[in-house]
Amino acid sequence: MTHGIPVYPFQFVSMDVFFSGYQGTKRAFLVTVDHYSDYFEVNILKDLRPESVIAAYKEIFVRHGKPQIILTDNGTNLVCRKMEEFAIEWDFQYTTSSPHHQQSDGKAEAAVKIAKRLLKKSGESGIDFWYALLHLAEYTQ
């Protein structure tokens, strides 16, 4: 099934957790992709507990507004009772992609691929990752 086309920015977002090296350490990152504009941002997660992921969600909501729909994969840190309670309390729909069918969350998967490549390139060249993310077009060619 295809997803509906959003009417405004950050109405519908995809989120995914990925791991990559950053400043010599393997870290967990949260990528958030807006389905309206394809804009994405990256957050470093303190750990993978649902409370840490929820704290990152709240920071994103403060910057961009609370989405109506969040789409994630079926990761155990993203699909749990605490996330369901958070979605009810903050009044948004929390949807998961079909298991073993990652292309249904293709926007998040594409953003993860870009972010990982950017982390690798910035680490190899000594350029600050956040600076490279700010100037994404220059560093992804």
- What is the mean pLDDT of the segment spanning 51-56? 94
Q: What is the pTM of this model?
A: 0.88
pLDDT over 90 for what percent of the chain? Answer: 72
> Considering Cα of 89, then 106, then 45, then 81, what sign does the dihedral take?
positive
Instruction: Report d(CA 10, CA 32) in Å as an integer.
Output: 10
15: left (phi over 0), alpha (psi -120 to 50) or beta: beta
pLDDT of residue 55: 96
Report the C-alpha gap between 52 and 108 in whole angstroms: 19
Asked if the model's pLDDT at residue 2 lies above 70, the reply is: no
